[in-house]
Structure 1
Amino acid sequence: MSVTPVVKPPSGVTVFLEGPYWEVSTQSLLYVDMTGKTVHRWNAATNTDEVINLDIDEKTRPSLIVPRQSGGYIVTHGRTVSHLDWSSRNLTALANIDGVESDVKVLFNDGKCDSKGRLWAGTFPADVKDISNLPPNQGFLVSIAEANVQKQADKITLSNGMAWSADEKTLYFVDSIPREILAFDFDVNTGQLSNRRVAVAFPPDSKETLGMPDGLTIDTDGNLWVACILVGKVACFDPQSGKLLRTIQFPVKGTTSCCFGGENMDELYVTSGNSAVINDKADGEVPPGSVFRVTGLGVKGCPDHVYQN
């Protein structure tokens, strides 16, 4: 197994990369920089990183990017879902969460599409400066189809990564602050969730070794790979037993999310970032905010779905 940085941030620039998505059609890695308010498309063959600066409000930040079946990309930023035309760089709002009933103002965070092309995205309370001190249970999970935003689960503190089982009967979903990976029974035809439960609970005494779960992906064996922010790891869990199977160590603390990619979908791509909470010092050869490729894991993933509306 090897861990290699494939993209490094410019010297002295603070970035917070999130939402990696492997675009099969272009053999490229998509991701966002929350701090810089940019979206990226790194091409594996040419080793070039195309960057678009988003024309968005200075108080908002992008949280995910996924391809759209009809062309272009879907980007969430702040409370808005928008279409991004890569060639023109035009960003067109499609929907927002203003109409979703909530006691507090929330912002979009991580998300993915299911096989029917619905976008699923989690939220967390806005106007909180210290994300580690979020008030509990004020975030929620929504689905978005044809500009219709529906709340699907509530009482979530900090929404993060998600993935579906191969048979699409289970949705796995990270709530970072309680350090849990939740599982829901999932009806792919109706998009309804039921039977909420905890699939993986990070042990209370593991904060120094496992940090806090952030983004995640799933392999073809059904095991979950979750980025453990604050400790620079990706951990692999069996969601049926909740057992920790293995960990990968990185040369930075702020590992944020991961996805499988490459020609054979057997490479793990991992984003990272830096913030006051992480306080990762750029004192090594690999700066915080780099993108990593992990090879030789002996496992594969499946391509993620696209937005179809």
Structure 2
Amino acid sequence: MSASGGSKAIIAALSANLAIAVAKFVAFIFTGSSSMLAESVHSVADSGNQALLLLGGKRAERARTRTHPFGFGRERYFYAFVVALVLFSIGALFSIYEGWHKIADPHPVESPIWAFGVLIFAIIAEGFSFRTAIKESLPHKGDASWVRFIRRAKAPELPVVLLEDLGALLGLIFALFGVTMAVVTGDAVWDGIGTIMIGVLLAVIAFVLAMETKSLLIGESAAPEVEEQICAALENAPEVTKVIHLRTLHLGPEELLVAAKIAVDHDDTATEIARGIDEAEQRVRAAVPIARVIYLEPDLDRAEQAPSSQVR
């Protein structure tokens, strides 16, 4: 997944959220609605999250050092994980607290026209942002479902922006529901209920993001189909008879470490084995361009050497 697509979606979301945050705070000042306050904090948190994603992408481009010989590609996963923590701590917990406070001490929504106007504007702006995220994700999603794309994507930016934009749209709908019910019924408790709904929604999204980015952060292998391509490329080298075992690890979204033990003919000379390993590496890089770090260990196929009675 190219970083450009993710950056475009992040910038679109950041621009929308900054404008929406200002509008929501203005609406909160005029209405006193807890739903509007929760949505204001939600937009501020989202803006900070998008800034973190941009920062992570920039820091991940640093060249490798002696203490970090494989580079800094996984910093993108770290900052995506921080985004999940921010979304939960600032967005979800604040919204749930504010909603509980409004239910315990309800006060009417004043000048609701401000809330309705800002919420409609925010829904339109978030819709454009969400559309951009979907458009940038489609080439990478392929035929997979959206759930599978979010779970399997190795670049965290697009899944994070997709979930944030989806959460923002649903949160706006919850806020609109809470404010509308509070105005129609004259019961401000509905405003608090809408606020708690926003908080629960953000908590769920934060949990999903945390689980997915944690998996990437501690290290994920390549997808099964990618590992099959690597095995095929290795076994197509003349000096390699088979792949005994293979391990892969994403050092970053666009950088894969490949470690394999390969079986070679016991009659091959050291020169032939070295040449075969070089050719095998070239075949792997041609088949899987992100396989940038490759370690191959030659060995003999023990199964072929064992007596026929011991082979299963």
TM-score band w.r.t. shorter chain: under 0.3
Q: Please state which structure has a larger fraction of its residues in helix.
A: 2
TM-score scaled by length of structure 2: 0.21
Q: Which has the higher contact order (CA 8 A, sep 6+)?
A: 2
